[in-house]
Amino acid sequence: MGQTLTEKILDDHLVEGELEPGEEIGIEIDQVLTQDTTGTMVWLQFEALELDEIQTELAAQYCDHQTYQFDFKNTDDHRFLRSAAGTYGAHFSRPGNGICHNVHKENFAAPGKTLLGSDSHTPTPGGLGELAIGAGGLDISVAMGGGAYYVEMPEVVNIRLEGELPEWATAKDVILHLLRELSVKGGVGKVFEYTGPGADSLTVPERTTITNMGTELGATSSIFGTDEKTKDYLARQDREDEYVELSPDEDAEYADQITVDLSDLEPLIAKPSMPDNVVPVSEVAGESVDQVIVGSCTNGGYEDILPAAKMLEDREINKKTEMIVAPGSKQASEILARQGWTAEMMAAGVNFSEATCGACIGIGHVPASDSVSLRTFNRNFEGRSGIEDDSVYLCSPEVAAAAALKGEIVDPRDLADELGDMEAPGIELPDQYDGSKADLISPDEAVDDELIKGPNIGNAPIGEPLGAGIHGEALLKMEDNITTDHIIPATSDILKFRSNIEKLSEFTLSRVDDTFAQRAMDSDGGVLVAGENYGQGSSREHAAMCPQFLGIDAVLAQSFARIHKANLFNFGILPLAIDEETYEKIEQGDDIEVVTDVSEAVDAGETEFTVRVNDDWEATATLNASERERRILSAGGKLRLTKEQYADE
Ligand code: SF4
């Protein structure tokens, strides 16, 4: 039987386990990436491991999430990150150089390699045939130390693309269509492998828009094979020698196959406040629009901004609407500027942001209260824009530009008819991506050779080994789809404490209940209760580290998002699955006792745990964990375990 492309790459990198769906496998990691909000902890943990240098082929540290300097904290973090990259041998991308996924795609992503990144949209370079997975920061530290990355062997699902995109439909509509069909949970435990003539018709930047938003489907990763288009893209980035031909075997067997005829697609839009709340643009046409933003790691490339620029050429945006362009990388903004498109957009009324995550996580360009914002981003979770009552729609750059011109949501095909002289811009790559590399510092050019820590930079907390019993209050009962943004908000006023866990913990779950952190501290810990898909969203390990710091021993949820569940193990918190009936019955404030001897049961490989509620009724909770995850839990978290292992060697 032939292999899928995913299986081929995994096979090449396999160090433990078998490629059977659901089995845990260990793989060798070629490249790692970190960004600034997760990166400080990655390096503090790497420091705690007491190794001299990174062991992977390549590591890259980006500064993209928190680039604005409100006080010394972000600047100190960036200086620390530069010093860590220099000390241990990683590339360093300066603040303002761009979003990690865009800069990595441009400079380092390579077909056939494995990439592990401490950001949930790490799968973006799957569009270039790299098998890229988002993970917690601690996994990155361990991978940088030469340790394998462990993951449940995903099911490989084939998305077969037929036909070609019609005018005004874009790669963004392909992924919005899949979100509409499959939902934000549709990709859990899966890798989506794109094949077929429709896949061949897409350029690399279009493919990376799709692989980027595979994360919104909950997928472990998404990947395309390589071909002349991949070779051409690498050549334009002056990296043709990194091309490797990759495709699945003709007789590869997939767990499932989904066919999408690209010629059936039309401009789509995700309504507030979930990326899978997708409808045709025409269905919401006429809704007044206050703000439009083109950019982010999803649609912030040259090829994404250029169509909007073409639509705005010799026109003006509507007086009641503001439009911002937030390029994904300085390479994109530099080329657009050299070609004169920046001036065209400015003349049309566009404001420019530096190449950072910015508005995507509520840093700058926060929408006005009770207003509508159309964004080309990948997420529109409630409150992510910086205000609780936001109304954020997700769409393609073409739909965004059309709304900016009209001042209301409009199908760009209808606007083109109305204006009479506006053509579908299509997709166009520059002859050469000839942006400067001034903001990338390679290990050879390192400016520091020792760590520089400012006063807001603490140490990596190390957990305590698991005890026999868990007994405490259900401190918080939450609903379905609690995101890592709910657990630790990514807004600048909070995340500036990312390197200072004691302070950051005060904000844990404050978006759900602002009394939670204080109650947890007063009661010396307890347990959390949640519905389905607990911890969806980003790979932010602070979302497990802070509850650990507050003494949370266990989370009882109907189901867990993959990366967050791994993070709970890594920080010694017991993730127990409960059924719907138990979830419904438990009330916030209930007394919860895990009656089973936890430490013994975890070590013995037991899956069923008895939970006693209010000393009155009992339910069964399930621990779905591999042997390795049990060892981590038992040791009190991965950092303590890895440190002990290195000390023994
Ligand atoms: Fe940055 Fe937003 Fe992309 Fe995350 S999703 S990397 S915050 S632009």
**pLDDT of 42-51, one tens digit each?**
999 999 988 9
How far apart CA 367 and CA 352 sit, in angstroms, is: 16
Ligand 1 centre and the CA of 357: distance in Å?
Answer: 5
- What's the pLDDT tens digit per position in 449-470? 999 999 999 888 888 898 888 9
What is the pLDDT, as a whole number, of residue 498? Answer: 84
Q: In which band, very low, low, confident or very high, does the pLDDT at 491 lie, cut at 50, 70 and 90?
A: confident
For 198-208, how does the pLDDT look when each residue is reduced to its tens digit (9 = 90+)? 999 999 999 99
pLDDT at 495: 77
* 357 Cβ closer than 6 Å to some ligand 1 atom: yes
Q: Which whole number is the average pLDDT over 182-191? A: 95
Burial zone of 308 (CB within 10 Å; 0-12 exposed, 13-18 middle, 19+ buried):
buried
| pLDDT at residue 35, rounded to an integer | 97
- Whole-number CA gyration radius for the chain: 24
> Can you give the pLDDT at residue 457?
93
Residue 392 pLDDT grade (very low, low, confident, very high; cuts 50, 70, 90): very high
To test ligand 1's pocket by mutation, which of 62, 119, 211 has the most ligand atoms within 8 angstroms of CB? Answer: 119
The alpha carbon of 300 and the centre of ligand 1 are apart by a number of angstroms equal to 10
Q: What is the CATH number of domain 470-648?
A: 3.20.19.10
Show Cβ contacts of residue 342 under 8 Å, excluding neighbours closer than 6 positions. 333, 336, 352
**Does the Cβ of 540 fall within 6 Å of ligand 1?**
no
Q: How far is the CA of 545 from the centre of ligand 1 (A)?
A: 21
Compute, in angstroms, the gap from residue 188 CA to the centroid of ligand 1: 20
Distance 589 CA to ligand 1 centre (A): 36
Going from N- to C-terminal start, the domains of the chain cover: 5-262, 270-416, 470-648
Cα 258 off chain centre by: 24
For residue 162, the model assigns a pLDDT of: 98
Q: Measure 103 CA to ligand 1 centroid, in angstroms.
A: 12
Ligand 1, closest atom to CA 296? 8
Q: Is the CB of 63 under 6 A from ligand 1?
A: no
For 628-644, what is the mean pLDDT?
92
The DSSP 8-state label assigned to residue 250 in this structure reads T
Ligand 1 pocket mutation, candidates 356, 378, 484, 536, criterion most atoms within 8 A of CB? 378
- Cβ count near 162 (within 10 Å): 15
User: Across 439-557, where does the E strand assignment appear?
Assistant: 440-441, 470-477, 526-530, 552-557
pLDDT band at 539 (very low <50, low <70, confident <90, very high): low
- Reported as a pLDDT band with limits 50, 70 and 90, residue 648 is confident
CATH class of 5-262: alpha beta
Closest ligand 1 atom to 538 CA = 4
Domain 270-416 fold: Aconitase; domain 3 (3.30.499)
Of 354, 356, 361, the residue with max ligand 1 atoms within 8 A of its CB, to mutate for a pocket test, comes to: 361
Grouping H, G, I as helix, E, B as strand and the rest as coil, residue 464 is coil
Identify which of 191, 258, 259 has the alpha carbon closest to the alpha carbon of residue 225: 191
Task: Answer yes or no: is the C-beta of 121 below 6 A from any ligand 1 atom.
Answer: yes
Please state the atom number of ligand 1 nearest to the C-alpha of residue 378: 5
Measure 120 CA to ligand 1 centroid, in angstroms: 9
Is the CB of residue 326 below 6 angstroms from any atom belonging to ligand 1? Answer: no
Looking from the CA of residue 35, the nearest atom of ligand 1 is 6
Q: At what angle do helices 638-648 and 562-570 cross, to 10 degrees?
A: 60
**Burial label, 399 (beta-carbon count in 10 A; 0-12, 13-18, 19+):** buried
Per DSSP (E only), the strands in 537-637 are 552-557, 574-577, 591-594, 608-613, 617-622
User: Which ligand 1 atom sits closest to the C-alpha of 100?
Assistant: 6
Give the span between the Cα atoms of 392 and 101, in whole angstroms: 22
Residue 394 predicted with pLDDT over 80 = yes
Q: How far is the CA of 297 from the centre of ligand 1 (A)?
A: 6
Do the first three CATH levels of 5-262 and 470-648 match, i.e. the same topology? Answer: no
Rounded CA-CA distance 49/640 in Å is: 9
pLDDT at 458: 86
- 210 CA to centre of ligand 1 in angstroms: 14
Percent of the chain topping pLDDT 90: 88
Looking at residue 330, its pLDDT comes to 97
490 CA closest ligand 1 atom index: 7
C-beta neighbour count of 426 within 10 angstroms: 14
Q: How many Cα atoms within 13 Å fall on the side-chain side of residue 432?
A: 6
Say if ligand 1 is within 6 A of residue 297 CB.
yes
What is the rounded average pLDDT of the residues 83-89?
98
What the block records as the tokens of 510 is: 């404050």
Q: How far is the CA of 474 from the centre of ligand 1 (A)?
A: 33
Distance CA 92, CA 87 (A): 11
Q: Whose CA is nearest to atom 3 of ligand 1?
A: 297
- Residue 378 Cβ < 6 Å to ligand 1: yes
Closest residue to atom 1 of ligand 1, CA basis: 357
Q: Return mean pLDDT, the chain.
A: 95
User: What value of ipTM does the predicted structure carry?
Assistant: 1.00
**Of 68, 101, 539, which is best to mutate to test ligand 1, by the most ligand atoms within 8 angstroms of its C-beta?**
101
Point out the least confidently predicted range of 82-86, 345-349, 534-538, 579-583.
Answer: 534-538
Length of the chain: 649
The pLDDT tens digits for 493-514 are 887 888 889 899 999 999 999 9
In the prediction, which pLDDT does 541 show?
A: 86
CA of 296 to the centre of ligand 1 (A): 6
pLDDT of residue 252: 98
Query: Which residue has 């690399």 as its token pair?
Result: 204
Residue 360 Cβ contacting ligand 1 at under 6 Å: yes
CA of 492 to the centre of ligand 1 (A): 14
Alpha-carbon span 47 to 443, nearest angstrom: 18
Looking at the CA of residue 64, tell me the nearest atom of ligand 1: 1
Task: Please give the distance, rounded to the nearest whole angstrom, from the Cα atom of residue 578 to the centre of ligand 1.
Answer: 32
Residue 118 C-alpha to ligand 1 middle, in angstroms? Answer: 12
pLDDT score of 484 more than 80: yes
**Does residue 540 surpass a pLDDT of 80?**
no
Give pLDDT tens digits for 299-313.
999 999 999 999 999
Residue 220 Cβ < 6 Å to ligand 1? no
**Predicted confidence (pLDDT) per residue in 258-313, tens digit:** 999 999 999 999 999 999 999 999 999 999 999 999 999 999 999 999 999 999 99
**C-beta of 296 in contact with ligand 1 (< 6 A):** yes
Would the CB of 99 count as within 6 Å of ligand 1? yes
